Amino acid sequence: MDFDLTKEQELIAQSVAEFADKEVAPKVAAYDEAEEFPRDLVDKMYDLGLMGMMVPPEYGGGGTDTVSYTLAMEEINRVDASLGVIMSVNNSLVCDPILRFGTEAQKEFYLPRFAQGPWLGAYALTEPWSGSDAGAMRATAVREGDEWVLNGQKIFVTNGWHADAIVTYAKTDPKAPRSQGISAFIVPADAPGLQKVRKEKKLGIRASDTAALAFENLRIPEENLLGERDRGFRVALATLDGGRIGIASQALGIARGSFEAARDYAQEREQFDRPIAEFQAIRFKLADMATEIDAARLLIHHAAALRDRGKNYTKAASMAKLFASDLAVRASREAIQIFGGYGYLRDYPVEKRYRDAKITELYEGTSEIQRLVIARHLARDLQG
């Protein structure tokens, strides 16, 4: 067992950390306050190869392993979780399924555009009546000649407002039982019949857009089917396994950013004639945060290493996401406690992380769903 990062992985972490500190950090508060999509920063992320990190170089990507991707996600999210989710959706939920399930023509057309820019991707699975129970979706796709005609509603689509193409899902066999008879599609944003319904107002990750979309007799060519007809739920689940490693890394980044801000503040802030870092109550909070951050990183790297070795990582990814997202919420709350009243103000760098952290317990499977996935695997392990 080797706990050391390779030279290349260290270099990736360092260069992303530098970008996050020098170029992202000064703009975070303004984008968050304005709830504005950070287009200039996203463009820079294409230049740095952060938008299609694991896409092989022959399709225009960085060709990195999953561990490197988690390191980059941790560094971006340490500074801004809005930029982090934009990056995670493009990498994990768009490039990954096209790479794994796409035809050669789809890979050649889409991957360079998503990995190098300027195309931004989105992933639309959730509907008003189907969230955790994604198999209960009602959107339909009907074959007419050499086209698919889609009808339905999709909500909570990250990047949905600005996306150039969307990976989505619809029922192609209405008679099939739930979660069967579903197919995946790639929908260009300019396809006739695609409607942007609204942009949501949110608690956190405010600079990332979250859109409600409608398909009204939306027409796409037959070749935009992604993977096998009627086997799309497999695409959705396989995609979310990888996505959960990304969101776990996002949560870890939020926890680490919270911890570092609190640690530094505790050295500077004096009460009762001494830095508050000298009080055991504060030191123990910091010790717990640091311990749990290391534990989360180990779970994440384990899941990523399993993925890189081609092993099953579903349970490991769910465990990493469950633990890291719980930590992000706890660590960001404790960071505010250490800042005292100042932590509650927008002028200080911890209240935003507290608002951002909560989403990691919700998207790409709530914490309850992660526990269901883990428990299902435990039951299988017991059965041998």
Ligand X SMILES: Cc1cc2nc3c(=O)[nH]c(=O)nc-3n(C[C@H](O)[C@H](O)[C@H](O)COP(=O)(O)OP(=O)(O)OC[C@H]3O[C@@H](n4cnc5c(N)ncnc54)[C@H](O)[C@@H]3O)c2cc1C
Q: Measured between alpha carbons, how far is 62 from 54 in angstroms, rounded to an integer?
A: 6
Alpha helices in the chain (DSSP H): 7-19, 25-34, 39-47, 66-79, 81-88, 96-101, 104-116, 232-268, 280-308, 314-339, 351-357, 367-383
Residue 35: Cβ-neighbour burial (10 angstroms; 0-12, 13-18, 19+): middle
User: How far apart are CB 373 and ligand X at their closest, in Å?
Assistant: 11
Q: Which stretch binds ligand X (CB under 6 A): 99-107, 187-195, 265-273, 356-364?
A: 356-364
- Which one of 74, 75, 127, 364 is the catalytic residue? 364
User: How far apart are CB 116 and ligand X at their closest, in Å?
Assistant: 22
Which tokens sit at 124?
Answer: 């639309």
Q: Site for ligand X (CB under 6 A): which residue of 112, 131, 135, 193?
A: 131
- Residues listed for the chain: 384
Nearer to ligand X, 160 or 343 (CB): 160
Which tokens sit at 324?
Answer: 């890291």
Under rule CB under 6 A, residue 140 binds ligand X: no
Nearer to ligand X, 133 or 264 (CB): 133
User: How far apart are CB 322 and ligand X at their closest, in Å?
Assistant: 12
Q: CA torsion sign, 173 to 102 to 76 to 250?
A: positive
Active site residue 364: yes
Rounded to a whole number, what is the distance in angstroms from the first to the last CA of the chain? 25
Q: Site for ligand X (CB under 6 A): which residue of 6, 14, 103, 132?
A: 132
When CB distances to ligand X are compared, the closest residue is 131
Cα–Cα distances (Å) from 328 to 150, 201, 219, 318, in that order, read 38, 22, 41, 15
Which tokens sit at 293?
Answer: 């951050």
Contacts of 304 (CB under 8 A, 6+ apart): 65, 66, 67, 69, 70, 245, 313
Q: Would you give the binding string for ligand X spanning residues 195-214, x where CB under 6 A is met?
A: -------x-------x----
Nearer to ligand X, 73 or 157 (CB): 157
Q: Would you give the binding string for ligand X spanning residues 243-262, x where CB under 6 A is met?
A: --------------------
Nearer to ligand X, 132 or 267 (CB): 132
Q: Site for ligand X (CB under 6 A): which residue of 369, 370, 373, 374?
A: 369
Q: Would you give the binding string for ligand X spanning residues 74-113, x where CB under 6 A is met?
A: ---------------x------------------------
CA-based radius of gyration for the chain: 21
Question: Where in the sequence numbering do the catalytic residues fall?
Answer: 364
Site residues (vs ligand X, CB under 6 A): 89, 123-126, 131-132, 156-158, 202, 210, 359, 362-364, 366, 368-369, 372
